[in-house]
Amino acid sequence: MAKVNGSKSVKKPSSKKDTSIKPIKDFLGSRSLPAPVDRLEDVRKRARRFRDKFLSGPQVVYYKSFDLVRVPYPTKYALLNAFSLPTPFLHIINRLFIIQYKTSEGIKTLLFSPSDVDANAETPFFKRLSQSFGPFQNIGKKIMAPTLNTVEECLKQVGLPPEKVDYISFDHLHTQDLRKWLGANGQPGYFPNAKLLIMKEEWDSVQGLLPPQSDWYCPNGSGGISMDRVILLDSDTELGGGVALIKTPGHTYGNHSLVANTPEGIFVTSENGVSADNYNPLKSNIPGVRKYAKNTGMEVILNGNTLEIGLDQYISMVLEKEIAGPSLRNPEFYNVMPSSEMSGFWLFPGTSPTFSFGQLQFGNIITH
């Protein structure tokens, strides 16, 4: 029986349009060819053309990432079919991104992946994992899943008032409880002026999940939120100078990726993969990954906890790396900065990434 999430939202979508948000048409029809390999190569060509055009355009005003929380995550999902050691878990660091960019309406501020760490802990998979420690649950959390920062603390660090945030967005809504940020059931949200930018397919999915999906979504995480606070996107979208949201379906039907043009090139962010190794496995030193890629011909390694549409996720990851291009820090890997990035941990042998980005900052924040 299908499981209904119960996250019914109130009111119809607002008819008021933000004139700084514009559709991108570069990838229209790119996945309509009948043969998967033809779809892949068509997407690759379009991504390279889009990269050249995007690089020639404006850069963001400000870009900074913050570590929020370390979370244990099954290796069988993070490195789908590729990891060769018996280590059951690895660590991923969930991050917040603050991006500011120019628009015809002035400077806009986007928070990408602003996770409510405490509320998100109610996600069924992670709640069961926490409860498995029994009477040592609190100790286990401090060791295995320590909170490093909260969203509120990150904003205070850079002097950004909550009312200055224009938008929040997530590559998809796994684990996310949105109610604290946007308000729900008549209660005000922490960000009084912010609107959620989300692909329509992702929003629709959350309204009625199937069991393979619901284990990864926070129960009622969007319940009671007024649709006046939500902007549903139905295409690739330009937000302003140097910032775009590109549809990358696969991990979920409504997955999208953040694309930001910075002084260090284009950075692409999602959770289709959890490390630089996922996007160039032939250069990976993680046990088993390079061998698996050689034996199978896999160009990328999927983050596969849900695999809503696996072939599309594979194509989406190629799209991401082609838009991003090689990293200036390590040209053997691509400028794909996962929203939750794999991080080495002494309790999880063999799970250190070959290359990682860590925290990034470009430009100076505008707070007035």
- At 338-357, the pLDDT tens digits run 999 999 999 999 999 999 99
Residue with tokens 């999880």: 348
pLDDT exceeds cutoff 50 at 1? no
Percent residues over pLDDT 70 in the chain: 94
Residue pair 54/269 in contact by the 8 Å Cβ criterion: no
Rg (CA), the chain: 19
Dihedral of CA atoms 357, 361, 363, 367 in degrees, nearest 10, equals 150
242-301 pLDDT, tens per residue? 999 999 999 999 999 999 999 999 999 999 999 999 999 999 999 999 999 999 999 999
Complete domains list, the chain, with CATH: 22-345 (3.60.15.10)
To the nearest 10 degrees (0 to 180), the angle between helices 310-324 and 36-55 is 30
pLDDT exceeds cutoff 90 at 134? no
In angstroms, the CA 144 to CA 90 distance is 10
Residues ≥6 apart with Cβ < 8 Å to 132:
none
pLDDT exceeds cutoff 60 at 9? no
Mean pLDDT of the chain: 93
Supply the DSSP string of 185-203, one letter for each residue.
Answer: TTBPPSSSS-EEEEEHHHH
Residues ≥6 apart with Cβ < 8 Å to 350:
83, 85, 87, 286, 287
Percent residues over pLDDT 90 in the chain: 86
Query: Which pLDDT value is given to residue 28?
Result: 96
Closest CA to 171 of 213, 92, 111, 242: 111
73-104 pLDDT, tens per residue? 999 999 999 999 999 999 999 999 999 999 99
Global pTM value:
0.93
Q: Which of 59-68, 78-87, 117-126 has the lowest mean pLDDT?
A: 117-126
Neighbours of 206 (CB within 10 A): 27
Structure tokens at 276: 């630089």
pLDDT exceeds cutoff 90 at 318? yes
Query: Which pLDDT value is given to residue 142?
Result: 73
